């Protein structure tokens, strides 16, 4: 079923995933009534790429109630990708919670007041884990039991936001209809424009074109290409308009992966750049147990220095566990329930991403050179 006649609001529309979702909607859904692109800021390049007539740009804060009320008027579908992603503790916990949790709850309340019928939430694998013990999961699914012990603020905020989204499913709207919600738990997303990949690239350029070994080779994960996670959002949006499919997916979460080979995070960086002459360090800078306690020491230092100045350690225990725990998930249930299948195979995803990396290397070299000067 198509989205013909639907008015769609995409939050986080200026971001890595949000942009891709909008471009895919424009490509696949020619009869959409309207796309509203909401974000706190847009780059000039983003505005140009979106087009002038097909997308309405809304610049504002997701915590602004009157702004959200105006954004949601006349909308029938919300795709909520906006959030602060923080794995290092760079962002104050209060701000993280205000945007990721309170902002999501406010958006849900606004949708109910404005009779928005369908709400899709972009969640993350981190709401599942890994837990503080680093218990692995191999090819898990939505029914895989796992004892989550989430203590890091970002993961906590995403888990609470997802809980609010799924709990809102079935709530009555003012016009007598009901709200349908669904959450997509994405694996680590890579692809053209990936900010984390660019950060790793910068460090490798400073390290003579060798990527740092941030994860042991055995810590297999299954990253997902940005074009595939964007496609999953479009398919869920369509499914929520189909009564039979909607009955299966309403109020549920789904793991979204693709056919990217299972690799460690460090080896993914290498796979995407090895044909350009990049390498990757053969092993972790120290044994894993020692690395964990080194991260703990840095956290203690950060705590002790807090009265004097804010020191953000380059790593922490959560990140050490996250990067070094085997954690892979299947997309079978998404395939069964709403017909998800990767739109881009690994060969194409790798080629597209590698071409983007090759294109940005000169400007990253220039940027790092100027920064060091």
Residue 99 lies in a domain: yes
Q: Which pLDDT score, from 0 to 100, does residue 1 have?
A: 76
**Cβ proximity of 109 and 179 under 8 Å:** no
Q: Does a structural domain hold residue 211?
A: no
Quote the CA–CA distance of 170 and 180 in Å, as a whole number: 6
Domain-located, residue 31: yes
Q: Can you give 54-111 as a three-state secondary structure string? A: CEEEEECCCCCHHHHHHHHCCCCEEEECCCCCCCCCCCCHHHHHHHHHHHHHHHHHHH
Q: What confidence tens digit (pLDDT) does each residue in 47-62 have?
A: 666 665 578 999 999 9
Residue owning tokens 């997309």? 331
CA-to-CA distance for 297 and 316, rounded, in angstroms? 9
CATH of the domain at 34: 3.40.50.720
Residue 274 is given by DSSP the state G
Q: What is the pLDDT of residues 175-230, one digit of tens each?
A: 889 999 999 999 999 999 999 999 999 999 999 999 999 999 999 999 999 999 99
Q: Pick the catalytic residue from 121, 146, 154, 188.
A: 154
The pLDDT value recorded for residue 149 is 76
pLDDT category of residue 2 using cuts at 50, 70 and 90: confident
C-alpha of 275 from chain center: 27
Q: What pLDDT, on a 0 to 100 scale, did the predictor assign at position 42?
A: 84
Mean pLDDT of 295-308: 91
Is residue 240 included in any domain, yes or no? yes
Q: How does pLDDT run across 113-152, given as a tens digit for each residue? A: 999 999 999 999 999 999 999 999 999 999 999 988 767 8
Q: What distance in Å separates the CA atoms of residue 356 and residue 114, rounded to the nearest whole number?
A: 40
Going by C-alpha positions, the residue among 136, 103, 139 that lies closest to residue 121 is 103
Inside any domain, residue 360: no
For residue 177, the Cα-to-chain-centroid distance in whole angstroms is 30
Assess if residue 140 is contained within a domain: yes
Note the maximum CA span of the chain: 63
For this structure, is 154 an active site residue?
yes
Arithmetic mean of pLDDT over the chain: 93
Q: Are 76 and 6 in contact (CB under 8 A)?
A: yes
Q: CA 251: distance to chain centroid?
A: 20
> How many domains does the chain fold into?
1
Q: Is 244 exposed, middle or buried (0-12, 13-18, 19+ CB in 10 A)?
A: exposed
Q: What is the pLDDT of residues 62-116, one digit of tens each?
A: 999 999 999 999 999 999 999 999 988 888 889 999 999 999 999 999 999 999 9
Q: Is this structure's pTM higher than 0.85?
A: yes
Task: Give pLDDT, residue 52.
Answer: 54
Q: Compute, in degrees rounded to 10, the torsion defined by CA atoms 86, 88, 92, 96.
A: 20
Asked if residue 367 is part of any domain, the answer here is: no
pLDDT (0 to 100) of residue 76:
95
Please report whether residue 204 resides in a domain. no
Print the domain residue range for 151.
7-191+223-260+327-343
């Amino acid at each position: 079923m198509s989205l013909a006649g639907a008015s769609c609001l995409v939050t986080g529309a200026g971001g890595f995933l949000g942009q891709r979702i909008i471009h895919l909607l424009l490509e696949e859904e020619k009869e959409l009534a309207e796309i509203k692109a909401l974000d706190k800021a847009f780059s000039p390049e983003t505005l140009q790429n979106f087009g002038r007539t097909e997308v309405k740009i809304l610049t504002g804060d997701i915590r602004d109630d009157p702004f959200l009320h105006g954004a949601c008027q006349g909308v029938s579908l919300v795709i909520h990708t906006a959030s602060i992603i923080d794995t290092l503790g760079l962002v104050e916990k209060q701000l993280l919670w205000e945007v990721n949790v309170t902002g999501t709850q406010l958006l849900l309340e606004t949708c109910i007041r404005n009779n928005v019928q369908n709400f899709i939430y972009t969640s993350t694998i981190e709401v599942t884990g890994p837990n503080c013990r680093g218990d692995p999961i191999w090819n898990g699914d939505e029914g895989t039991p796992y004892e989550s012990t989430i203590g890091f603020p970002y993961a906590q905020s995403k888990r609470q936001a997802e809980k609010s989204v799924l709990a809102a499913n079935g709530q009555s709207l003012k016009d007598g209809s009901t709200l349908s919600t669904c959450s997509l738990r994405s694996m680590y997303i890579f692809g053209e424009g990936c900010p984390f990949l660019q950060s790793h690239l910068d460090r490798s350029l400073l390290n003579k074109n060798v990527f740092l070994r941030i994860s042991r080779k055995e810590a297999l994960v299954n990253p997902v290409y940005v074009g595939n996670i964007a496609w999953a959002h479009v398919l869920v949006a369509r499914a929520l308009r189909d009564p039979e499919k909607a009955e299966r997916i309403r109020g549920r979460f789904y793991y979204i992966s693709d056919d990217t080979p299972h690799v460690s995070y460090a080896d993914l960086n290498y796979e995407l750049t090895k044909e350009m002459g990049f390498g990757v360090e053969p092993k972790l800078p120290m044994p894993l147990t020692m690395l964990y306690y080194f991260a703990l020491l840095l956290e203690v230092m950060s705590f002790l220095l807090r009265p004097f100045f804010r020191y953000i350690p380059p790593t922490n225990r959560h990140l050490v566990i996250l990067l070094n725990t085997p954690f892979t998930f299947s997309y079978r249930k998404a395939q069964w329930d709403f017909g998800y299948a990767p739109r881009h195979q690994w060969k194409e995803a790798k080629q597209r991403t590698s071409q983007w990396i090759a294109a940005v290397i000169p400007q990253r070299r220039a940027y790092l050179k100027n920064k060091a000067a």
